[in-house]
Amino acid sequence: MNLTIENILLVGSLLLFISLMAGKTSYKFGVPTLLLFLAIGMLAGSDGIGGINFDNPQMAQFIGIISLNFILFSGGLDTNWAGVKPILKEGIVLSTVGVLLTAVSLGTFVYFITDFTIYESMLLGSIVSSTDAAAVFSILRSKNLALKTNLRPTLELESGSNDPMAYVLTLAFLTLVVNQDQSLVSIIPMFFQQMLVGGLAGFGFGKLSKYIINKIKLDFEGLYPVLVIALMFITFSATDFVGGNGFLAIYICAVFLGNQDLIHKKTILKMYDGLAWLMQIVLFLTLGLLVFPKQIIPYMGIGLLISVFLIVIARPVGVFLSLMFFKMKLRRRFYISWVGLRGAVPIVFATYPLLAGIDKANMIFNIVFFISVSSVLIQGTTLSIVAKWLHVALPEKVKKLTANDLLLTENPKAQMKEITVTANCFAVNKKIVELGFPKNAIIAMIIRNNSYITPNGTTEIRAEDTLIVLADKLEVFEEVNKTLQI
């Protein structure tokens, strides 16, 4: 089937609906949802039952870049600075040095087992060197996996911030493959320019975006998310225009905005959460359509060999060497090594050699696709099991809600305080609705006998309850204490 203007909406909406319905039950069988989206795209493609003829790497790349904008921006908005700050150095080192070491070690292995040139080998290593933000965010959150001592923020920070490094390495080695007269030294200025300009632009556009969002007066609340989308694309495209890394810029911009007071912030966060899921589905469906399964079969052997080396050797080498100067338990390092999921991002990056027209572009694309699928299938389905084996997962009964979880559900990034109710408090045995609680404060959660209760107006407060209270300002907690008569 050829996609036309008349049937593209029908086909697209049907694929989206099928993906959502299939994804609803996929985890009962241990299948990551994103892998299912990819499989549906492949089934709908020219080699599948759908027969849709989609062989347009340029369009796939365009959709991929748009999708990655939303996925990275959403991940940045959800990043709680208080949770990330203690592990900021580890995260930055993993997303830069760790990615470089992974790319080099894997590229060296590819060079010795294939007929690739050294630059072609390093290009393949660079394409699959970063963990995939879409895969890590979606799998960790959908599995609701609670991890010990800042392990989850480390993984999410790394996956959200290491795509820019892989992108720069991919462009650098692609340049060397296309222009074989250039030396490795010639790409070093481009590398520093991309990272430095991208970082500064991200912070600058973050401050500018905050000012615009809070100062501009729009007539409808629903227009504020639209404004943020415009600012997101401006950040990406303007940074890229001046020679910086747009992916790094939008992630830093989003992290900054996510930890600021913004008008209609709750609406913006909810909208981006939905759009990020939509873009993940669209991205995986598109890449599934782009792939011709018959072309992958000849490369499955070499693809499996490279994939196993990446999972077992290259990724651990990158993690252990980059973290060698940090104090961290060995089992935490092993788990970080295991959560090295490759997903849609490497497949998007693999379209760059296709568009550049290099000799081994087709082979690279199919190998990368196989690596991504095997990574999500092997590592994505075993995150919970490996976490239990390594004793880095919190037991179900003592799982802790992070401040970010609470803030996202009730009042994003408000002030939070835990208040213990003693036996002689006025609030004991009274319903919340009877307390006359301050309007600019809420009881978001109650901890009672090591369990968590989501309260409503009829919930009774009991002695020894711990109330997790959110308020707009710190001064409001004085009114809260008077109301409870602590």
Taking only the tens place, the pLDDT of each residue in 183-200 is 778 778 888 898 899 999
Residue 25 has pLDDT above 70, yes or no: no
pLDDT reported for residue 79: 81
**What is d(CA 161, CA 202) in angstroms, rounded to the nearest whole number?**
12
Distance of CA 251 to the CA centre of its chain: 10
Amino acid at 305: L
pLDDT reported for residue 5: 60
Place of tokens 């007071």: 261
Residue 30 has pLDDT above 80, yes or no: no
Q: State phi, psi for 472 to the nearest 5 degrees.
A: -70, -35
pLDDT reported for residue 249: 93
| Res. 408 pLDDT band, cuts 50 70 90 | very low
| Res. 257 pLDDT band, cuts 50 70 90 | very high
Place of tokens 């080192």: 93
One DSSP character per residue, 366-424 reads: HHHHHHHHHHHHHTTTSHHHHHHHTT-BPPGGG----HHHHHHHTSTT-EEEEEEPPTT
Distance of CA 273 to the CA centre of its chain: 11
Q: What pairing do the DSSP bridges indicate for beta strands 441-448 and 415-420?
A: unpaired
CATH, domain range 414-484: 3.30.70.1450
Q: Which fold has domain 8-397?
A: Na+/H+ antiporter like fold (1.20.1530)
| Res. 55 pLDDT band, cuts 50 70 90 | confident
Residue 307 has pLDDT above 90, yes or no: yes
- Of 141, 265, 166, the closest CA to residue 213 belongs to 265
Query: Could you report the per-residue pLDDT of 222-239, keeping only the tens digit for each?
Result: 898 999 999 999 999 999
Instruction: Find the helix or strand (DSSP H, E) in which 24 lies.
Output: helix 8-26
pLDDT reported for residue 99: 93
Q: Is 144 left (phi over 0), alpha (psi -120 to 50) or beta?
A: left
**Are 278 and 195 in contact, with CB atoms under 8 Å apart?**
no
Residue 157 has pLDDT above 90, yes or no: no
Instruction: Find the helix or strand (DSSP H, E) in which 447 lies.
Output: strand 441-448
- Of 420, 282, 315, the closest CA to residue 103 belongs to 315
Segments making up each domain of the chain, as ranges: 8-397, 414-484
The pair of structure tokens assigned to 459 is: 């919930």
Residue 412 has pLDDT above 50, yes or no: no
- Residues near 340 by Cβ (< 8 Å), separated by ≥ 6? 102, 131, 310, 311, 315, 319, 375, 379
What's the whole-number average pLDDT of the chain?
A: 82
Mean pLDDT across 257-281: 85
Residue 406 has pLDDT above 60, yes or no: no
pLDDT reported for residue 476: 81
Mean pLDDT across 171-178: 91
Residue 120, SS3 per DSSP: helix
Give the lowest-confidence range in 145-154, 183-192, 341-350, 452-461: 145-154
pLDDT reported for residue 409: 47
Mean pLDDT across 434-441: 77
pLDDT reported for residue 413: 42
| Res. 44 pLDDT band, cuts 50 70 90 | confident
pLDDT reported for residue 402: 47
Residue 48 has pLDDT above 80, yes or no: no
- Of 319, 468, 334, the closest CA to residue 401 belongs to 468
**What is d(CA 42, CA 49) in angstroms, rounded to the nearest whole number?**
9
End-to-end CA distance of the chain: 69
**Are 96 and 166 in contact, with CB atoms under 8 Å apart?**
no
107 or 50, which is more confident: 107
Count the helices and strands in the chain (H runs, E runs).
Answer: 24, 4
pLDDT reported for residue 32: 60
Residue 457 has pLDDT above 70, yes or no: no
pLDDT reported for residue 486: 62
Query: Could you report the per-residue pLDDT of 109-152, keeping only the tens digit for each?
Result: 999 999 999 999 999 999 999 887 666 766 666 555 667 667 87
